[in-house]
């Protein structure tokens, strides 16, 4: 089969994968804490060259491209005020630490927290938010306004005769890793640090704010259009290669 067919077909596959990633970014532009997804391209010739094959199209080299590894962008997203006392955003590098029901620690930038029936601070999926000394719990008798300082300290302030009584509940665990790109994620919101050591981070905590996705709608839309055009071009090239092959077959039959 002509290498041109492989080249065009592989381009269609690769561009379709990139289209899917871009579509996911567009779907999550309003999702708090979502980190933009990207995908690299790898030339098939480079893959074969790494195995010692040479010669380009005329020899035993390859043609076309392959989808490479996916990655996440960890640049800050826009922080928007919400006025909810349990909404928190981070300013600077760092992550909130969560604990799933199996006891595993995950990292996230999504700070839309709430309290469950037991007074535990949780995320929307029900995972517990960790403090420096374990999960954060607001006692039932601690009635008042929840205040979260920029260093992550959580306290309940209650008006009493003569002033305000403050009850400290703990400090949010804000951590970082040496290489965020090595973390894995299925949804772009919570991340598995893997074997990396969690270290304290110095990000400021902003109460009453949420950090939106770091995917820009206009940029993603432009990317979507460009990818669609490349896909269409590869499709036309494939069709032309097939027609050329049919012409050769007709010549051989006559």
User: Where do we find the tokens 């492989």?
Assistant: 6
CB pairs under 8 A, 24+ apart, for 58-66? 62/3, 62/6, 63/3, 63/4, 63/6, 63/7, 63/10, 64/3, 64/6, 64/7, 64/8, 64/9, 64/10, 64/11, 65/10, 65/11, 65/14, 65/41, 66/10, 66/13, 66/14, 66/41, 66/42
Do 29 and 213 touch, CB atoms closer than 8 A?
yes
Structure tokens at 30: 């309003």
CB 79, CB 91: distance < 8 Å: yes
pLDDT at position 32 is 95
pLDDT at 2: 58
3-class state of residue 117 by DSSP: coil
- Spatial CA neighbour of 136 closest among 163, 114, 103: 114
Look at residue 189 and give its three-state secondary structure. coil
Q: Are strands 121-122 and 114-115 parallel, antiparallel or unpaired?
A: antiparallel
Q: For each of the chain's 254 residues, which pLDDT tens digit applies?
A: 456 676 777 777 888 889 999 999 999 999 999 999 998 877 766 666 666 666 554 555 556 777 778 899 999 999 999 999 999 999 999 999 999 999 999 999 999 999 999 999 999 999 999 999 999 998 877 767 899 999 999 998 887 777 777 888 999 999 999 999 999 998 999 999 999 999 999 999 999 999 999 999 999 989 888 888 887 887 777 777 677 655 545 444 55
- Give the CA angle between residues 179, 193, 117 to the nearest 5°: 140
Tokens encoding 7: 């080249």
**Is the distance from CB of 112 to CB of 32 less than 8 angstroms?**
yes
Q: Is 205 helix (H, G, I), strand (E, B) or coil?
A: strand
Cα 116 from chain centroid?
Answer: 26
């Amino acid at each position: 089969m002509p290498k041109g067919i492989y080249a065009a077909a592989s381009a269609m596959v690769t561009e379709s994968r990139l289209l899917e990633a871009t579509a996911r970014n567009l779907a999550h532009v309003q999702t708090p804490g979502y980190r933009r997804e990207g995908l690299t391209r790898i030339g098939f010739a480079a893959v074969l060259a790494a195995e010692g094959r040479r010669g380009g199209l005329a020899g035993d080299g390859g043609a076309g491209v392959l989808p490479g590894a996916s990655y996440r962008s960890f640049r800050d997203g826009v922080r928007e005020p919400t006025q909810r006392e349990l909404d928190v955003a981070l300013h600077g590098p760092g992550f909130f630490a969560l604990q799933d029901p199996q006891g595993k620690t995950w990292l996230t930038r999504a700070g839309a927290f709430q309290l469950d029936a037991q007074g535990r601070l949780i995320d929307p999926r029900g995972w517990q938010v960790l403090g420096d000394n374990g999960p954060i719990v607001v006692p039932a008798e601690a009635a008042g306004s929840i205040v979260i300082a920029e260093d992550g300290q959580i306290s309940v302030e209650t008006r009493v005769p003569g002033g305000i009584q403050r009850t400290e509940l703990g400090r949010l665990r804000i951590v970082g890793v040496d290489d965020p790109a090595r973390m894995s994620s299925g949804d772009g919101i919570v991340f598995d640090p893997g074997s990396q050591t969690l270290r304290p981070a110095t990000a400021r905590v902003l109460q009453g704010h949420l950090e939106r996705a770091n995917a820009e709608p206009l940029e993603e839309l432009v990317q979507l259009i460009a990818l669609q055009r490349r896909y269409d071009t590869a499709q036309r090239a494939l069709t032309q290669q097939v027609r050329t092959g049919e012409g050769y077959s007709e010549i051989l039959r006559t």
